[in-house]
């Protein structure tokens, strides 16, 4: 397994299989070091830190599970769970349906369709702070784009990210702007559905709606499933846009979970509590994912079953 052994017994070293194995471990050694340093080690440390009370400066004191117990009495913890879940339950289904709808449009064979594909896809390519700055400006109640356009048709738009009632819908709208990413994945799936299936169904007299329901949906269900999982994982981890646009406000109405972790870790220096919160996030995401996996067998169709 390691080189030193091989060099002491020449016979062992000369065998090609052993040399190949040694070379394998040489190749993956950067990953192994990185895994220990940046994943396994920190994970273990994170569990231990979550059992302490610590502020980075004084030495940590062991407090058992009290960080986890403290969450039960933490109103903001529940608020951030509610905010994040509400956002997820709104943005993920809307994104799934919207992405599929656009992909169906993009699957039409029209002249110049590739230009439209690029336009719809473009916003999902860009991300990060610059996009958050843009949307903060778009949601500006007085001079922003949305209320400017609403004003043209006589609607007095809401204050969007500056009022608790509208801040979550505002983030949902912003997330829908990036629906192109899932659209592209749907499109690839739609184009890989064999045309014979549609031809056969058409011969049997199935209409467009029936063909969609009985052929398209089952054939692309694995991709819907994939987009669902990715969508949930991403929306639970939203941070950059919230940090830039609202800092969790107004009245903690956009206190997304990762922002809450960040506050405890790097603003209040409650390192133990922040670590415990991070593990709760991990568990919540895992539970959601497991739940979906559990119920996926009923509606996800894999061609040829074993994959």
Partner 1 sequence: MSEKNLELNLLTSARRAPQPRSAFLSRKTLLEILRQLILYIILIAGALPFLFPLIFMLSTSLKSKGEVLLVPIRWIPSQIIWGNYYEAMFGYLPLYWFMLNTLKVVLGSLVGDVLVCALVGYAFARLRAPGRDILFIIVLSTMMLPGQVVLVPTYILFRYLHLLNSLWSLILPNLLAGGAFFIFLFRQFFQTINPELGDAAKIDGCGLFGVFWRIYLPLSTPVLATVAIFSFFWNWNNFLWPLILIDAQDKFVLAVGLKLFQGAHTTEFPLLMAASVIALLPCLLLFFSAQKYFIQGVVVSGVKG
Region 99-138 residues binding partner 1, contact defined as CB under 8 A: 102, 105, 108-111, 113, 116, 118-123, 125-131, 133-135, 137-138
The answer to the question of residue 248 lying near partner 1 (CB under 8 A) is: no
217, 111 contact by CB (below 8 A):
no
Spatial separation of the C-alpha atoms in residues 306 and 132, rounded to whole Å: 43
Encode 91-116: b = buried (16+ Cβ within 10 Å), e = exposed.
Answer: bbebbbebbbebbeebbeeeeeeeee
The answer to the question of residue 35 lying near partner 1 (CB under 8 A) is: yes
The answer to the question of residue 1 lying near partner 1 (CB under 8 A) is: yes
Residue 59 is classified by DSSP as P
The answer to the question of residue 92 lying near partner 1 (CB under 8 A) is: no
The answer to the question of residue 160 lying near partner 1 (CB under 8 A) is: no
Residue whose token pair is 């050694």: 29
In this structure, how many other beta carbons lie within 10 angstroms of the beta carbon of residue 236? 20
Q: Of residues 221-240, which lie at the interface with partner 1 (CB under 8 A)?
A: 223, 226-227, 233, 236-237, 239-240
Residue 32, φ and ψ in degrees, nearest 5: -60, -45
Answer for which of 4, 10, 11, 27 binds partner 1 (CB under 8 A) is 27
Report the nearest approach of partner 1 to the CB of residue 290 (Å): 11
Answer for which of 5, 7, 14, 43 binds partner 1 (CB under 8 A) is 43
The answer to the question of residue 267 lying near partner 1 (CB under 8 A) is: no
Report the nearest approach of partner 1 to the CB of residue 163 (Å): 19
Tokens representing residue 242 in the block: 């919230």
The answer to the question of residue 58 lying near partner 1 (CB under 8 A) is: no
How many residues at the interface with partner 1, by CB under 8 A?
95
Spatial separation of the C-alpha atoms in residues 150 and 163, rounded to whole Å: 17
Please identify, among the stretches 68-76, 158-166, 173-181, 291-299, the one whose residues bind partner 1 according to the rule CB under 8 A.
173-181
Angle, helix 217-236 to helix 271-296, in steps of 10 degrees: 170
């Amino acid at each position: 397994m390691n080189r030193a052994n091989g060099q002491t017994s020449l016979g062992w070293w000369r065998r090609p299989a052993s040399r190949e194995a040694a070379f394998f471990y040489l190749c993956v050694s950067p990953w192994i070091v990185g895994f220990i340093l940046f994943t396994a080690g920190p994970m273990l440390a994170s569990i231990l830190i979550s059992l302490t009370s610590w502020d980075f400066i004084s030495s940590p004191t062991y407090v058992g599970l009290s960080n986890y117990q403290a969450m039960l009495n933490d109103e903001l913890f529940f608020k951030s769970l509610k905010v994040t879940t509400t956002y997820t339950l709104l943005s993920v289904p809307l994104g799934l349906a919207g992405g599929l709808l656009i992909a169906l449009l993009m699957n039409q064979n029209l002249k110049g369709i590739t230009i439209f594909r690029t336009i719809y896809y473009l916003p999902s390519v860009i991300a990060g702070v610059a996009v958050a700055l843009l949307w903060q400006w778009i949601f500006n109640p007085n001079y922003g784009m949305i209320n400017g356009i609403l004003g043209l048709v006589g609607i007095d738009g809401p204050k969007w990210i500056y009022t608790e009632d509208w801040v979550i819908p505002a983030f949902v709208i912003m997330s829908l702007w990036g629906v192109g990413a899932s659209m592209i994945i749907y499109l690839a799936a739609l184009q890989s559905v064999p045309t014979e299936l549609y031809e056969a169904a058409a011969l049997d007299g199935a209409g467009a709606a029936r063909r969609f329901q009985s052929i398209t949906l089952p054939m692309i269900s694995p991709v819907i499933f994939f987009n669902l999982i990715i969508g949930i994982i991403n929306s639970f981890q939203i941070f950059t846009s919230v940090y830039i646009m609202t800092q969790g406000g107004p009245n903690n109405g956009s206190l997304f979970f990762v922002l809450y972790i960040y506050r405890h870790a790097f603003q209040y220096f409650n390192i133990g509590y922040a670590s415990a919160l991070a593990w709760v996030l991990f568990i919540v995401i895992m539970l959601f994912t497991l739940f979906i996996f559990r119920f996926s067998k009923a509606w996800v169709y894999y061609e040829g079953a074993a994959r």
